[in-house]
Amino acid sequence: MTKSSNAMWGGRFAAGPDAIMEAINASIGFDQRLAAQDIAGSRAHAAMLAATGILTSKDAEAIREGLLTILSEIETGKFQFSTALEDIHMNVEARLKDLIGEPAGRLHTARSRNDQVAVDFRLWVRDQCDAVDGAIKALMLALIGQAEAGVDWVMPGFTHLQVAQPVTWGHHMMAYVEMFARDRSRFADARARMNESPLGAAALAGTSFPIDRHMTAATLGFDRPTANSLDSVSDRDFALEFLAASSICAMHLSRFAEELVIWSSAQFRFVRMSDKWSTGSSIMPQKRNPDAAELIRAKIGRIFGANVALMTVMKGLPLTYSKDMQEDKEQVFDAADNLMLALAAMTGMVGDMTAQVDNLRAAAATGFSTATDLADWLVRELGLPFREAHHVTGALVAMAEAKGCDLPDLTLDNMRAVHKDIRAEVFDVLGVGNSVASRVSFGGTAPAQVRARIADWKERLG
């Protein structure tokens, strides 16, 4: 064999195929994050084995004490993880044997690593749903704080990133409250669906031991045991649902991050970002870069990627368990870490950012933003069909463009040259403040409506 063809055995894998197989097979490098869940599942399993007479109370007590010792060692950083023992389950079991001897071997009665990892991972994802719920709630409260401060600050509303109609700052902030509320409900829905215990499904077919799966399910806070042993050990829908909900939430974070990048630019100057969430340029002293927003926008790709990656892992697997499924955890761990980081950063930015109120209002008055108000006035006051009102308004916009002014700057005679029945009261609807105040339909941008939505959400969030 030539030197070049043998290069793959060099360096880290100099020991040859055995070292490579150990490296590809081991998961302890990442699944040690399941330690608390693994020990909780084992404690519940041991207690059930004792209650059903499968295990003596003496052995069960020794196992319980040993597992608590291991948990303490892990939490204090004293536990020595071994790659040779492959995963968190075998690492814990080996240490348990060191501590209590022969009774440790009885813990795995009526259980397989297949249902063990399924319950561990499900417990971890369930805990993560709870953590994300709290993080989203904190972001929603920060947005509500901004909305309360600027409930009647006027800013431009956009379509196609073109000025469309005036809206209020509070209304814009509350739009994201609605988005993140849907995200929160998606995680809650996913959590409710995943709250079934696979423990007791054993390798794939269940067990002949007289176990009590309802007992272990209740002990671990599940609503019920899963109903099919084959599905129990091969299902990763709970992880996929978590990633799907994370991806949608991440998309919302990225949309807002993009707006903050735009709004903080010199061209817009809608917001000033706190120094806590911005950085300067190494050579351009005038710059304040919205790095936190940009990094949120970028990190979202990792969450999307995790979703696609796990879907790809699962898409071709026959029932039941295959080693491919070991690739499920790293994707979920990485996505969860980045989602929590992005939520925390966005909450911090929202809490610290300062709206540039005068710039917002000035921008709202540009681009003929009250043209729709003019058309509505023509319909409401003169009885014109909307299509005719639209045509008249378009002609007035063209006139203002030709004169280099905005609609409120046209004279009454200018307007009457387009439609003779226009009256002086039309100017009452052309101001941006009047425009937003008139949008009183439910869910509209009028300050009264925004205050009502704020009050509603503050009550719901507690």
**Which residues are catalytic, by number?**
160, 281
The angle, 0 to 180 degrees and rounded to 10, between the axes of the packed helices 237-263 and 291-314 is 160
CB neighbourhood size of 78 (10 A): 9
Report the alpha-carbon distance of residue 163 to residue 176 in Å, rounded: 19
- Residue 197 phi/psi, 5-degree rounding, is -95, 125
CB 249 within 8 A of CB 339: yes
8 Å CB contact between 40 and 88: no
Q: Report which of 186, 190, 210 is spatially closest to residue 200, judged by C-alpha positions.
A: 210
Q: Is 16 exposed, middle or buried (0-12, 13-18, 19+ CB in 10 A)?
A: exposed
User: Can you tell me whether residue 162 is helix, strand or coil?
Assistant: strand
Rounded-to-integer distance, Cα 184 and Cα 136, Å? 7
Nearest to 346 by CA among 297, 303, 306: 297
How far apart CA 125 and CA 143 sit, in angstroms, is 27
DSSP-derived pairing of the beta strands 196-197 and 224-225: parallel
Could you give the CA distance from residue 410 to residue 400 in angstroms, rounded to a whole number? 7
Q: Check whether the bond before 320 is cis (ω within 30° of 0).
A: yes
Q: Is 150 exposed, middle or buried (0-12, 13-18, 19+ CB in 10 A)?
A: buried
